[in-house]
A and B are shown apart, each in its own frame.
Chain A
Amino acid sequence: MERIPILKMGPFLLVTIQIDLYDRLALTLENDLINMVSQTGARGVLIDISTVSIVDSFMGRILGNIASMSRIMDAETVVVGMQPAVAITLVELGLTLQGVYTALNVEKGMELLNTKLGDNLELDDDEEEDQDDRND
């Protein structure tokens, strides 16, 4: 059966999605990835979708599921490289990928994971940078 390869890079896992996912393939990926997180104790998952041209609500839900499941196992998920056309379409569709971090490319995704990890190691518990810096 067709499978999408998962690469281990230090404390992170990297998946590059290069073909249009049909449902079963996407569900297999979800399974494989979660098993891999649990086996390797990975602290972060990078999903590179830079060559994916269509993300519909099904795909969106898979990405969200991977993120939620990984989080329970103490790993953060970053979706990297979303194409502009895909981003515009997802917003119109109404899908904002809540709970999923995003980054421009794999390198920036790694940086992001490293800071998140660093924060956690210092036992800083403020999750996001959102609210506190609005007024000055």
Chain B
Amino acid sequence: MNTTAQVLEKNKERILEKWMQNQLSDAALRDDLMTNDELQRQSREMLDGLLRAVSKGNYDNIYDTDFEQVTDTLRDISITRARQGFSPRETGAYVLSLKQSVIEVLVEQRQDDTSMLYREIMQLNTLLDNLSILTFETFIKGREEVILRQTDEISEISTPVIRVWDGILALPIIGTLDSARTQVVMENLLQEIVNTGSNIAILDISGVPAVDSLVAQHLIKTVSATRLMGAECIISGIRAEIAQTIVHLGIDLSNIKTKASLASALHLAFSMTNLEVRRTERHKGPKLMR
């Protein structure tokens, strides 16, 4: 009597054929994301690996080295599919339709020995279920990566450094200032200070909803880093309620130059760089407009 592995090996082409059919018949599968040739190649590779592992008699531990190739390929497929925008269903169906094909072939081959068939199906069930859990795990991880990358991109976009004057930079911060964001703000600001040779940076926090001691700490760090580089940092946009919280929380900002508005910060920056802005008297007529 042939072992399970031998039966499967002998019918490999049939399994592959059925599996391909199963996959392609799923109306939901998007052929815009992947060619059939590619799918075929991928599936064959996967099946080869699986049969090799099963031939060693290992049906339950997919984390064993026997399965390394299978799990690697599977992770690879799931991650790629997550990135390419496949749905969870499409990704999950990959292993589940393999299970169906394998079982169909076994049923054909084992018509004379149902108790054997039962045992085999149970074993393969467990194995392929484990593989399908792995698929989902990796798929979700892939999606998480995408989200993380987008988060990074958003915080990158939302912290523009503006050159308001020769030697003066302004950085309006909009939204919550957490530690990851502070990191981005600091890096952008300091790099821009180097690039432009600016002596003064204005950090405007009018768009920051609340300042607690953690946010204050982030601000203080940014100011300290700016000073270490040899530039000065002014914090502007301190609203009344922010001033209140700062005092109530006992946060010490006495070493930091703060201003209520961006305009007055700019004013201070001018005087620090010995610049003066004056109104020119061009029309000496009656002053109708101010």
- A–B contact (CB under 8 angstroms): yes
Q: A residues engaging B (CB < 8 A)?
A: 78-84, 86-88, 90-92, 96-97, 101-105, 108-109, 129-130, 133-134, 136
B interface residues (Cβ-Cβ under 8 A, vs A): 183, 186-187, 190-191, 193-194, 197, 199, 221, 224-231, 255, 257-258, 264, 267-268, 271-272
Whose C-beta in chain B lies nearest to the C-beta of A129? B272
Selected A-B contacts with CB under 8 Å, 29 pairs: A81-B230, A82-B230, A83-B194, A84-B186, A84-B190, A84-B191, A84-B193, A84-B225, A84-B229, A86-B228, A87-B226, A87-B228, A88-B186, A88-B225, A90-B225, A91-B224, A91-B225, A91-B228, A92-B221, A96-B224, A96-B228, A101-B230, A103-B230, A104-B194, A104-B229, A104-B230, A129-B272, A133-B257, A134-B257
Determine the main DSSP class of B at the interface with A.
Answer: helix
Q: Which 10 A-B pairs have the closest CB atoms?
A: A84-B190, A103-B230, A102-B230, A87-B228, A87-B225, A104-B230, A91-B224, A91-B225, A91-B221, A87-B229
Q: In the assembled complex, which residues on chain A have CB atoms less than 8 Å from the CB atom of B187?
A: 84, 88
Cα(A78)–Cα(B227), bound, Å: 12
- CB of B238 to closest CB in A, whole Å: 11
Question: How many inter-chain contacts with C-beta < 8 Å in the A-B complex?
Answer: 68
Q: Which A residues lie within 8 Å of B197 (CB)?
A: 104-105, 108
Q: Which of A81, A87, A102, A129 has the most CB of B within 10 A?
A: A87
Q: How far is the CA of A104 from the CA of B225 in the complex (A)?
A: 12
Distance of B251 from chain A, by nearest CB (Å)? 16
Q: Which residue of A lies closest to B186 (CB)?
A: A88
Given A84-B193, A87-B228: 6 more A-B contacts, CB < 8 Å = A81-B230, A87-B190, A88-B183, A88-B190, A130-B255, A134-B257
Q: List, in ascending order, chain B residues with CB within 8 A of A102's CB.
A: 227-230
- Within the assembled complex, what's the spacing in Å between the Cα atoms of A105 and B196? 12
**A5 to B264 Cα, complex, angstroms:** 45
Question: How many Å lie between the Cα of A3 and that of B224 in the bound state?
Answer: 32
Chain A residues lying within 8 Å of B199, measured Cβ to Cβ, are: 104, 108
A96: chain B residues within 8 A (beta carbon): 224, 227-228
Q: A62–B229 Cα gap in the complex (Å)?
A: 18
* B231 x A104 contact (CB < 8 A): yes
